[in-house]
Structure 1
Amino acid sequence: MNSIQIADKGFEIFLENDNICKRIRLIGIQLNLDYENRCPYFLGVLNGSFIFMADLLKEVTVSCEVGFIKISSYEGTESSGKIQQAFGLPDNLNERDVIVVEDIVDTGFTLGYIISEIKKQAPSSIKVCSLLLKPKALKSPIDELEYVGFEIENDFVVGYGLDYDGLGRNLKDIYKAKSV
């Protein structure tokens, strides 16, 4: 499918699953090298990261633990900038290597909030692994952003865990909104 319709929006193919999987394999190799003889805590940001995190963890061979946090700042196709926490952080991150797994980083508001909350527990390290990054949308630099699958323009994307008003997460490819 080169183009799809979700609710009232048209989308066109942007990143095919094969390319996504190849990039994830490379990130997994890098994580295995960087965290050799360590036991990182992978913290997935729900709902969007669940597919990326599942595929990423299949490539990780080092011993690790996994958890999730649910935070939202989206309304429709725009980040609202208001953080709404649904589930909290685990409380055992002291002296741990924490890897926050995100589907997409755009403004960085949500990620900045998560990092500041993790820092309160004095972890050994915090790194961020995001499938997508919108550099032009980033409001302030995020030093912890270490692993990025793809840098993209400031387009609205859906699929592979990313949604449009709750729809489209189940698509295996990533689509971008068609220009009108």
Structure 2
Amino acid sequence: MRSIEIDNLSFEPFIEYEQIQKRIRLIGIDINVKFENKHPVFVGILNGCFMFMADLMKCIHIPCEMTFVKLASYAGTEQGNVQQLLGVGMDLKGRDVIIVEDVVDSGTSLKHTMEALAALEVASITVCTLLLKPESLQHSFDNIMYVGFEIDKEFVVGYGLDYNGQCRNLPDIYKEVSSPHTL
């Protein structure tokens, strides 16, 4: 891994693909055990979750279903109001739902998603996120059960995470060098 530059921002290697895959396998094993007889629905939050969810689902060996929602809560690097752009598209009443997120930082979009799912009368909501920024949380959650990596307030790209639509395709995660952002 080597450093990269995007729009005059420098990023250095942070979490390698192999580390990500090891963590995903462990999360998958735990989900397979805990949800063995529950037939959960995985709800991926687009666009950022696509790589994480694809790799996670390869480790899930229990009967399950999946769907996606698309939210928008960023304008450049600033967090804004959450907008739902694409809905679930299936009946979730009485179902065990596992929300799959790329990163939980402020928690605003996660809170929005959980409230929307609760209104659909789901049986349970469990959160599975690749990255968690505990210092950035503005809401408290008791159902974030699966966390790939806890990180500081770094601005990160790669493995589904983007900066202005760029770098989602990178297999590794990079963090901005001397980040002025507090995401």
TM-score range, shorter chain: over 0.9
Q: Percent identity?
A: 51
Counterparts in 2 of 1:47-66, with a 5 A limit? Answer: 47-66=47-66
Q: Is the 8 A contact 2:104 2:131 kept in 1?
A: yes
Measured after TM superposition, the shift of residue 44 of structure 1 is 0.2
CA RMSD of aligned residues (A): 1.0
Q: Is the 8 A contact 1:89 1:118 kept in 2?
A: no
Q: Deviations over 1:54-89 (max 9, x none)?
A: 000000000000100000101222322x01211012
SS class of match (2:135): helix
SS class of match (1:23): helix
Counterparts in 2 of 1:27-176, with a 5 A limit? Answer: 27-80=27-80, 82-176=81-175
TM-score normalized by structure 2? 0.95
Measured after TM superposition, the shift of residue 174 of structure 1 is 0.1
Distance in 2, matches of 1:156 and 1:46, equals 18
Measured after TM superposition, the shift of residue 91 of structure 1 is 4.1
Q: Structure 2: where are the runs of 5+ without partners?
A: none
Q: Deviations over 1:4-60 (max 9, x none)?
A: 011221100000000000000000000000001120000000000000000000000
The runs of 4+ residues in structure 1 deviating greater than 2 Å are none
Q: Is the 8 A contact 1:99 1:126 kept in 2?
A: yes
Distance in 2, matches of 1:121 and 1:51, equals 27
- Which amino acid is the alignment partner of residue 164 of structure 2? D
Matched pairs, number:
179
Greater mean alpha carbon deviation, residues 38-47 or residues 84-93: 84-93
Distance in 2, matches of 1:166 and 1:2, equals 20
Counterparts in 2 of 1:14-25, with a 5 A limit? Answer: 14-25=14-25
Q: Structure 1: where are the runs of 5+ without partners?
A: none
